[in-house]
Chains A and B, each alone.
Chain A
């Protein structure tokens, strides 16, 4: 029995892995395309940021007063400044367009007078969007950041001067901003010195990203298994298999086993490729999430084991469902169309639970989602990560019951002649039944 099962699985793996479409789509594409995409994004970001940060800021100064000269002096120390000697703003903007500088700083007449008389002064930054790309905003942002720094320092020095004049001993920083907010987060009784946004960002990236990846992998696996069944039916290799002296359960188990092996290979390739993509693409991101270990959210070995169980049982359930559905079809196109419907129960819970928790949903909608086994894949993954093992076990139990039922139905279908006669495309199959 083991030898037969192994032979069926090996055949299935060979058939799937040697199929150029599956090899490319499930294994090579994530391993090659994701790193290439990540590197491309990383390199383009790097070069764009480098180009933008080294780009000069054009200045059209109508004011000519001391305060504006002080601002320009500060900017000259921190970046390259190109002074436009234009007779009007329109002429300066025409030159900006012609020269292609990323941004123009316009210091209007009266700027210095406002500064010296204690009124709020205004400057205007014109961003030059020639190609309408995201990186073109970097030049304007760099100018705005420098002006904010200058404004902050000017504000502090003015407060210090005023405090000196009245003989007060206050800190200039405290006068400018008397209340500072410090965030802490309480997670299941543990105090973590981090803002809630960072924690949630971390949980989303770690516990939702994984189920989303599993969902993508699941869709691949479902399509793969359905296609494999449909090809066997189209090629009539199933007819041959069904007349061999082996049990039909062994045929089903071999098909499931082979599909699971390829799906796991695909998921490993997907996760490797995706982690490389994230690493490459986010190399220059300024705010990376907190390291998971620092906030005490590292999954325990039991949590990881449960996570593995959830992924595995979810895969088996999806494959069993795909096979049960594909049995009714008589062509690859019909099988793919039919299992395409499974996108709804697989993807909808993943998307909803990315943005909210189940408890926040209306009761009716919550119960509908709870009936869908793949909702439990996500809830249980998060529960395993957060150490809520009871909930994780509950999810695994529910998915297992669903999987068991699906496998039972699939095995019953395999034992009937439905697999030969089929229902969808029945007219065509009848024509061939002489």
Chain B
């Protein structure tokens, strides 16, 4: 297995505010890698840099060996990005949204197959013909996950994919992520505040606090290292020590 994402010494300044202070991590191909940390730790900024939305002030990120600044358009062909708390176009139907997005990746002859894949991932059935305006938060999130995965990207960047969702929608999303990783060919980089979700989904995690990675490893390794019964306690202990 190769390296899917390699971030080295990432610094990101917003004026006087420093969101990242030398953040480094590696994501191996085919794994689910979780960035966990408190609010304002720099998780979203790190994911946005990997997703080519932001340029690092210093440092670099490579996605499958391609620099996210120099080769941004090449990187965009390989990723599916799901922003935190994002919406979709409220006046389009679910199907129209999937078709619109599929058109940017697939050839005209392949669009129907891609959209069908999106329909399957979303699991929204007949509700997809309705306008997105009427969707609940969970339905919208399922649609957006379908959009991010239906193109079979090499890397899915999911920023807090189940934030604020009820158990049913959150479960559907976790199952679909797991299912697509197991099918092969997909690497996932996600952030989350839900430690149960992180333990369920992630092969490896990085604890990020105040713009730097303070711990990295498999959930079991981290629990052993801190003698903690769950990742939540690992997180609290690591941030206290850090």
Contacts and interface: CB of A to CB of B under 8 A. Distances in A.
Interface of A: 3-4, 7, 11, 14-16, 18-19, 234-237, 239-240, 242-247, 417, 420-421, 426, 430-434
B223 to A, nearest CB: 24
A434 B86 contact: no
Contact of A11 (B83, B100, B105, B147): B100
Assign chain B's interface to a size class.
35 or more
B92 to A, nearest CB: 6
B84 to A, nearest CB: 8
Nearest to A3: B103
A430 B104 CA distance: 30
Interface in B75-91: 76-77, 79, 81-91
Contacts of A236: 83-87
5 contacts: A235-B86, A239-B53, A240-B86, A242-B52, A434-B37
B76 A434 contact: no
A195 B90 CA distance: 57
Contact of A18 (B55, B82, B88, B131): B131
Nearest to B81: A243
Contacts, number: 100
Given A3-B103, A431-B40, 11 more contacts: A7-B103, A7-B104, A14-B89, A16-B91, A18-B131, A239-B48, A243-B52, A243-B79, A245-B73, A434-B40, A434-B43
Contact of A434 (B44, B82, B101, B108): B44
Interface in B34-53: 37, 39-45, 48, 51-53
Contact of B96 (A14, A417, A421, A434): A14
B196 interface: no
A18 B93 CA distance: 11
B86 A245 contact: no
A242 B81 CA distance: 10
B17 interface: yes
Nearest to B77: A245
A26 to B, nearest CB: 14
A247 B76 CA distance: 10
Most buried by B among A15, A18, A235, A434: A434
Interface of B: 14, 17, 19, 37, 39-45, 48, 51-55, 73, 76-77, 79, 81-92, 96, 100-101, 103-105, 108, 131, 144, 147, 157, 191
Contacts of A417: 53-55
Nearest to B47: A434
Contacts of A14: 89, 91-92, 96
Nearest to B133: A18
B72 to A, nearest CB: 10
Contacts of B54: 417, 420-421
A11 B93 CA distance: 11
A15 B100 CA distance: 12
B92 A11 contact: yes
Given A7-B103, A430-B17, A237 B89 contact: yes
Given A19-B91, A240-B83, A420 B48 contact: yes
Most buried by B among A236, A239, A243: A243
B45 A11 contact: no
A14 B131 CA distance: 11
Given A15-B92, A239-B53, A246 B86 contact: no
Nearest to A10: B100
A243 B76 contact: yes
Nearest to B105: A245
A389 to B, nearest CB: 42
A433 B86 contact: no
A434 B48 contact: no
Contact of A15 (B82, B91, B144, B147): B91
A288 B45 CA distance: 65
B41 A434 contact: yes
Contact of B53 (A4, A234, A247, A420): A420
Nearest to B88: A237
A433 B76 contact: no
B104 A244 contact: yes
A431 to B, nearest CB: 8
Smallest CB-CB A-B distances: 4 pairs: A235-B87, A18-B91, A236-B86, A243-B81
Contact of A430 (B14, B52, B88, B91): B14
Contacts of A421: 14, 54
A7 B100 contact: yes
B178 to A, nearest CB: 23
A240 B44 CA distance: 14
A367 to B, nearest CB: 38
Given A14-B92, A420-B48, A434 B14 contact: no
Contacts of A433: 14, 19, 40, 42, 44-45, 48
A352 B79 CA distance: 54
A242 B53 contact: yes
A246 B52 CA distance: 12
Contacts of A15: 89-92
Most buried by A among B37, B101, B104, B157: B104
B209 to A, nearest CB: 11
